[in-house]
Amino acid sequence: MRGLIGEIITRFERKGLILVAAKLVLILAIQAQKLYKMHKGEAFFQEFVSHVTSGSVFVMAWQGPMLLLSLDSVEATNPVNAALGTIRGDFALTVTSNAIRAPESPENAGRELSIFVSPSELTDYSKPTERECFLE
């Protein structure tokens, strides 16, 4: 871990997203293989599995309007191709060590979330600034 959790959370919160689950985990090999199953058989598959199981990972679930479009702030997997100002453009070291994993579709988001987070761990709330206020 490189001490970037707070910075990454801040970027998503500034986009108006709401953090609904978060936990620090050690990913098991079986979970990593499920996470990257679409890449099974590719040369880098084992490298991804080894990397993501090599230490702690901060798993997060977000909700909000235009969530997947907001994840554009994550940017290209290869940091060489990621724009400055994006999470990977600013923090990624290599394709494998790219600071964040983000799904590319609602289906993948649900699949990836189910690997790490149970439904009972998800919260449902709104920010106080988004609630209707009544004066007495």
The CATH number that applies at residue 96 is 3.30.70.141
Q: Residue 27: what are its φ and ψ, rounded to 5°?
A: -75, 130
> Which stretches in the chain have pLDDT values below 50?
none
- The pLDDT, as a whole number, for residue 100 is 83
How many domains are there within the chain?
1
- The DSSP bridge partners found for residue 57 are 25
Residue 129 lies in a domain: no
- The pLDDT, as a whole number, for residue 131 is 61
- The pLDDT, as a whole number, for residue 40 is 93
Q: Assess contact for 118 and 80: CB atoms under 8 A.
A: no
Residue 85 lies in a domain: yes
